[in-house]
Amino acid sequence: MVKKGSIYTQVVVPLLAEFTAQFIHTLWGVMASGPAIIETNSTDVGENSLCSSNDQYFLGVFVPALQAGLSVWMQIVVFWKISVVHFNPAISMGFLVSGDLKPIMFIPYVAIQCLASTFAAFLAKGIMGKNPSVIAVPDDVSSMSVFLNEAAMTGILVFFAVAMVVDKSYDQATGPLAIGLTVFQGILSAKWVGAACISPSRAFGPALVTGGAAWNRHWLLWLSDLTGAAIASAYFMFFFAPPNKSWSVWLRKRTSKKPRDTVDNKESACMVETDLS
C-alpha cells in the first residue's frame, strides 16, 4: 500500500500528471492548428496571425483560442482529484511565488512540461507528415508590445489559478472553466500582436521540432510569461489571500512586533531610573 506522504504520491504522481496533461494539451493544440506556416517577417505566423478578414480571424485566432481554453478546462477537471496540474511554467512560477510549489520542484515541473510538449510535437509531425504549427513572434511586432501583452494575459491566468489553490476553502465548481476561459480570452489578443502564447512549454515542443524561424524571439515568451506570473501571484498574495497566508497580514505583524532586545533595554532603563530615585 502506498503511503499518502510517500515520494510516489508527492513527486512521481504529480510529475506524471504534468507530463500527461501537457502532452494532451500540446497534441490537441497542434493537431487543431495544422502544419506550420512560418513567415516571421510579417504578422502571419502559424496559428496566431494578425488577421485582415473575418475568415482569417475565425480560423487563425478564434478557433485556436477556443480549443486551448476548452483543453485547459478539461485537463484541470480530469486531474482534479489526483493532482493540481500546472502544464504551464507560468502557473508553476505563480505557485512557486505563492508557496504552493516547493522551490526544489520548480525545475522538474518545467522540465517535464517541456519534455511532454516535445513528445506531442513529434507525434503530431509523424501524423501530419509535416512540421507542427508553432507560436513564434513576428519580426514586425515590437518586443515591448509582445512582452506587455504576454505578461498581462498570462498574469490574469495565473491570478485565477492562484485564487483557486491558495484558499483551501475555495469551493466554486466552475473554477476550472473560469481558468479555461482566461486562456480563451488571452489568446484572442493575438489579433493585435501577432502572437499569444500564455504557456511557454506549449510553444517549446513545436519550436524544437520545427526549428529555424520557429525560435524567433522564443526567449521573449518565457521572460514575459514568467514575469507576468510572478507579479500576478504576488499581487494576489498581498491583497486577496486568506489571512493565514496573506503577505500584507504577515507584514503588519512583522512590523508591529518590537525587537526583544529593545524591550529589554527599555525595561532595564526603567529599573535603573527607579533605583536612582
Domains belonging to the chain, first-starting first, are 7-243 (1.20.1080.10)
Tally Cβ neighbours within 10 Å of residue 103: 8
Instruction: Report the alpha-carbon distance of residue 172 to residue 162 in Å, rounded.
Output: 14
- Among the listed residues 121, 118, 137, the one whose alpha carbon sits nearest the alpha carbon of residue 35: 121
Contact (CB, 8 A) for 209 and 131: yes
- Among the listed residues 213, 223, 69, the one whose alpha carbon sits nearest the alpha carbon of residue 133: 213
Q: Work out the angle at residue 81's Cα, subtended by the Cα atoms of residues 78 and 87, and round it to the nearest 5 degrees.
A: 55
Task: Identify the pLDDT of residue 17.
Answer: 96
Task: Identify the pLDDT of residue 213.
Answer: 87
Residue 87: helix, strand or coil by DSSP?
coil
List the chain pLDDT tens, one digit each, 277 residues: 445 668 888 899 999 999 999 999 999 999 987 655 544 454 444 444 444 456 677 777 788 889 999 999 999 999 988 889 999 999 999 999 999 999 999 999 999 999 999 999 999 999 999 999 888 888 888 999 999 999 999 999 999 999 988 888 877 888 899 999 999 999 888 778 877 889 999 999 999 999 988 898 999 999 999 999 999 999 999 999 888 888 888 888 888 865 555 545 555 555 545 454 4
Task: Identify the pLDDT of residue 81.
Answer: 86
Q: What is the DSSP letter of 218?
A: H
Task: Identify the pLDDT of residue 218.
Answer: 93
Residue 48 region by backbone torsions, left for phi larger than 0, else alpha for psi between -120 and 50, else beta: beta
Contact (CB, 8 A) for 124 and 56: no
- Can you read off the three cell numbers belonging to residue 276? 536612582
* Half-sphere exposure in the Cβ direction for 5 (13 Å, CA): 0
Return the CA Rg of the chain. Answer: 23
Instruction: Report the alpha-carbon distance of residue 16 to residue 13 in Å, rounded.
Output: 5
48, containing H or E segment: strand 48-49
Task: Identify the pLDDT of residue 44.
Answer: 43
Q: What is the pTM of this model?
A: 0.83
Q: What are the residue ranges of helices labelled H in the chain? A: 7, 13-33, 54-57, 63-78, 89-98, 103-128, 143-166, 175-187, 190-193, 200-210, 218-239, 247-256, 260-276
